Amino acid sequence: MVPLWILLSLVSAFTLATSDALTKRTLEVHNEYLVAWFRLLFSIPVLVAFLIVLPRPHLDLEFFIAFIIALPLEIISVILYIKALRLSPLSLTLPFLSLTPVFVIVVSYAILGEKISLQGVTGIFLLAGGSYVLHFHEFQKGILNPIKAIAKEKGSVLMIGVALIYSVTSSLGKMAIIHSSPLFFGAIYVIFLTLFLAPVALWKGRHDIRHFVTNKYYRELFVPGIFYGIMVVSHMTAISLTNVAYMISLKRISVLIGVLYGYFLFREKHIKERLAGAIIMLAGFVLIVTAQ
């Protein structure tokens, strides 16, 4: 019988990739701040349903410190994430989420002097090689052109920024979970994220909000929001049942699903090299997190 954490991790991967793909469709014609906020807003009913039946854990000072520091960083990452989805193909943005463990390793080495194992080094090289392969069609213009192409792709650059922020918020999130409970933290975190993102979204989307609401375009975010809520619940439950590294590694299958969505839904070009690059980056990610 397949362990429950594996099934939940796969559910988390599928729902995240599906929510992103459906959200990208909406981003093609609507304000990205409003889209980001309504997707979070529509995820709340799923989270509240679980929050009602959950016992309230004891919350100490460490929980509130982690929560308060992580929240503004998460707001920035949501904005960068949604902009990346709007600006660039899914197959060129989502794979860069795999860079998060690289940033974690660099930060831990700089602060704590922690060294990297041979397996970890191999993983880093695979991540670098995979990102190169994503733009391999540029190779004929020059050996450095695939690297230059990454810098020119605004969505890819923004997603690298998201990966960097995630390297910090993942540690803060783990701290908050330890001092509360996985599902409680996930639900409360997204609810407060939605609350504090509201003024930013409403201000940035002030010229579009009347048209967006009057024509009921917000309904396009209902399904992506539900999928996002299911992703949070399945993610937090799975992470409480197994090693964090194993769960995150399996969830990164969302990268591959996202690349396939990019091809089948948006007819993105160079799918073979992007799929190959995503697989290489995924392999590098797995080597890094299992080496810890």
- Give the residue-averaged pLDDT of 265-283: 85
pLDDT attached to residue 153: 85
Domain boundaries of the chain, sorted by first residue: 4-291
Mean pLDDT score of the chain: 85
- Give the residue-averaged pLDDT of 98-108: 70
Whether 112 shows a pLDDT value over 70: the answer reads no
- Give the residue-averaged pLDDT of 76-100: 89
Contact 146, 134 (CB under 8 A): yes
pLDDT tens readout for residues 168-208: 887 788 788 889 998 899 999 999 999 999 999 999 999 99
pLDDT attached to residue 116: 64
Q: Cα angle vertex 35, ends 30, 39, to 5°?
A: 150
Q: What 3 state SS string does 53-111 have?
A: HCCCCCCCHHHHHHHHHHHHHHHHHHHHHHHHHHHCCHHHHHHHHHHHHHHHHHHHHHH
